[in-house]
Chains A and B, each alone.
Chain A
Amino acid sequence: MKTVLARLCVECAARVVFLVDRDGQTIAFHGDIGDMDTTSFSSLAAGNVAATSSMANLIGEDAFPAVVHEGERESIFISIIGRSLLVVVFDKRSTVGLVKIRAKRASYEVAAILDEAVRESAYTMKNNSTFSEITDEDIDSLFS
């Protein structure tokens, strides 16, 4: 996944590329985050898509598959890939058109990797006893 995000980042001359769960959790990212609060950024991206998707429903659309916010210096492109969001942060070195084309191509690879990850995750969860071994003391220790 990191390889795909890294290539997309280079291909569209982006500052940073994120893959975010639709509930607002950061799955992966590549690029220059500087002092950006990535947790808040992902949460807001998910909130943004949730709000625009609901607006789409109100006007009879299933969803807006992509959302663009253009700023004076930095811009954001968000593309929906199933349960995930591909978020590209870019500046004047790139264009919305370029980002759209490159992101669309990358989205097929991202979707395939995510499908595989979901299958692997189901297997891991089934065969991983890490969480079933959590004790009351483990939980209490978080609050001490």
Chain B
Amino acid sequence: MTFINYASREINCKIVYYGPGLCGKTTNLQYIYDSTAPTAKGKLISLATETDRTLFFDFMPLELGTVRGFKTRFHLYTVPGQVYYDASRKLILKGVDGVVFVADSQEERMDANIESLYNLEENLQTQGYDLAQLPYVLQLNKRDLPNVTPMQDLVGELQRKGEPVFEAVAMDGTGVFDTLKAVAKQVLTELRKS
């Protein structure tokens, strides 16, 4: 739920990057972190294993400016993608305002994408959310690799509700900010409705 602090005139929103292991969730955050002015961001916290796989979550706060006199701050989280960290994924979805599903475009990762998407829907339900009602964006990552599934096949398999879809190469930043903007806009539009 969007957290509005009237005393300090701040709007805080939580966006979670979800997807299968090694799809590029942390790379998205790393690119945003590296490309943002120091005044607009906090530290990038990575709770990772010794081999740099996300263990609990990555987190970075990002300030985008003010709306109607309220400072808007987005709290960006990633979840650990590996199947056996499901308990952690459920926890990180608590209080979520918007979700980015990062799909790995490589042919051999299609099943992992589908499994992770089902897992997202299940875990959202556990936390009392419905994907159909939540600000949501689909990112098709790793489009620069040679063995990728055609975009229309990925969209046909993974798009759930006509959500915006972005092709991305998170390593070089392609599509990273387009994805973030799309989900942030949806979150603020929801705030307007409420």
Q: Which positions in A face B, CB cutoff 8 Å?
A: 21-25, 27-28, 37, 39-40, 43-44, 47, 50-51, 54, 121, 124-125, 130-134, 138-139, 141-143
Name the A residues within 8 Å of B75 (CB-CB).
24-25, 39, 43
Tell whether, in the assembled complex, residue A131 and residue B95 are in contact, meaning their CB atoms are under 8 Å apart. Answer: no
Within the complex, which residue of B45, B67, B72 is in contact with A40, where a contact is CB–CB below 8 Å? B45
Q: Is B192 an interface residue (CB 8 A)?
A: yes
| A130:B3 contact, CB within 8 angstroms | no
Q: Are A40 and B43 in contact (CB under 8 A)?
A: yes
Q: Are B42 and A134 in contact (CB under 8 A)?
A: no
Q: How far is the CB of B176 from chain A (nearest CB, A)?
A: 13
Residues of the B chain whose Cβ atoms lie less than 8 Å from the Cβ of A130? 68-70
Mostly, the B contact residues are mixed
- Please tell me the number of chain B residues within 8 Å of chain A, measured between CB atoms: 40
CB-contact partner of B65 in A47, A133, A141, under 8 A: A141
Do B72 and A47 touch across chains, with their CB atoms under 8 A apart? no
Residues of B within 8 A of A142 (CB): 64-65, 67, 72, 184, 188
- Contact B45 A139, beta carbon cutoff 8 Å: no
- List chain A residues, Cβ under 8 A from B59: 40, 43-44
Instruction: Let me know if B5 is at the binding interface, CB within 8 A.
Output: yes
For B1-40 the 0/1 string (1 means CB < 8 A from A) is 1011111000010100000000000000000000000000
Give the number of A-B contacts (CB < 8 Å): 86
Please provide the chain B residues from 49 to 74 with a CB less than 8 Å away from any CB of chain A in the complex: 56-57, 59, 61, 64-65, 67-70, 72-73
Tell me if B191 and A131 are in contact (CB < 8 A): yes
Besides A25-B5, A130-B68, A131-B68, 13 other A-B contacts (C-beta < 8 A): A22-B95, A23-B1, A37-B43, A39-B75, A43-B45, A43-B61, A50-B91, A54-B91, A131-B192, A139-B185, A139-B188, A142-B72, A143-B185
Q: How far is the CA of A124 from the CA of B14 in the complex (A)?
A: 22
Asked if B194 is at the interface (CB within 8 A of a chain A CB), the reply is yes
Q: List 12 A-B contacts (CB under 8 A).
A: A23-B1, A24-B95, A39-B75, A40-B45, A40-B59, A47-B91, A50-B94, A51-B56, A54-B91, A130-B70, A133-B68, A142-B184
- Residue in A closest to B68 when the chains form the complex, CB atoms: A130
B 160-194 to A, binary, CB cutoff 8 A, 1 in contact else 0 = 00000000000000000000010011001101111
Name the distance in Å between B179's Cβ and chain A's nearest Cβ. Answer: 12
- Residue among B57, B72, B192 with max Cβ neighbours from chain A (10 Å): B192
**Chain A: minimal CB distance from B12 (Å):** 5
